Amino acid sequence: MRMQLVPEKTISTLAIAFTVLILVACSSDGPTDRNFSIEFANGEPVGGVERFTANQGDTINIDLSTDESATFHIHGYDLEFEVEAGSKDSIELLADATGRFAIEIEELEQDVAFLEIRP
C-alpha cells in the first residue's frame, strides 16, 4: 500500500484554521453595559415601541423621559419607576432573568418597549 503525503501548505492552512476556530469558540465578551432610551410624548412612545436586546449578566441602563407624569413598569422584573412630567430619569438593572419583558406606562397599561434578555 502506498501512502500519499499531504502538502506542507495544506497542513499549515489547516493548523491556522483550527487555531482561529478554537479562539473564536473560546472567546467571550462577558457582561456588557447596554444603554437604551425611551421617550414618551403626546401619549405615545416617540419612534414607536422599541425592542431592546441584551445578554444575561449585562447591566442595562434605560434613560426615561416623558411630557406627563408616568410610572414605567418592567414586567418580569417587577420594577417601577416614577418619572415627573418634563423630567428625565434612568433605570439601571442587572439582566439576570431571561425572556421577553414588556415595559409599559403603568397608568395607561400601554407598552412602550420590550426588553429581550438572551441566555
| The model's pTM | 0.74
pLDDT of 102 higher than 60? yes
pLDDT of 22 higher than 70? no
Q: pLDDT over 90 for what percent of the chain? A: 75
Distance in angstroms (rounded) separating the CA atoms of residues 86 and 20: 52
Angle made by CA atoms 16, 22, 26, in degrees to the nearest 5: 150
Say if residues 42 and 61 touch (Cβ distance below 8 Å): no
Q: In whole numbers, what is the pLDDT of the chain averaged over residues?
A: 87
For the chain, which residues make up each domain, given as ranges? 33-118
Average pLDDT of span 27-47: 90
Distance in angstroms (rounded) separating the CA atoms of residues 38 and 113: 8
CATH class of the domain at 33-118: mainly beta
Average pLDDT of span 3-10: 64
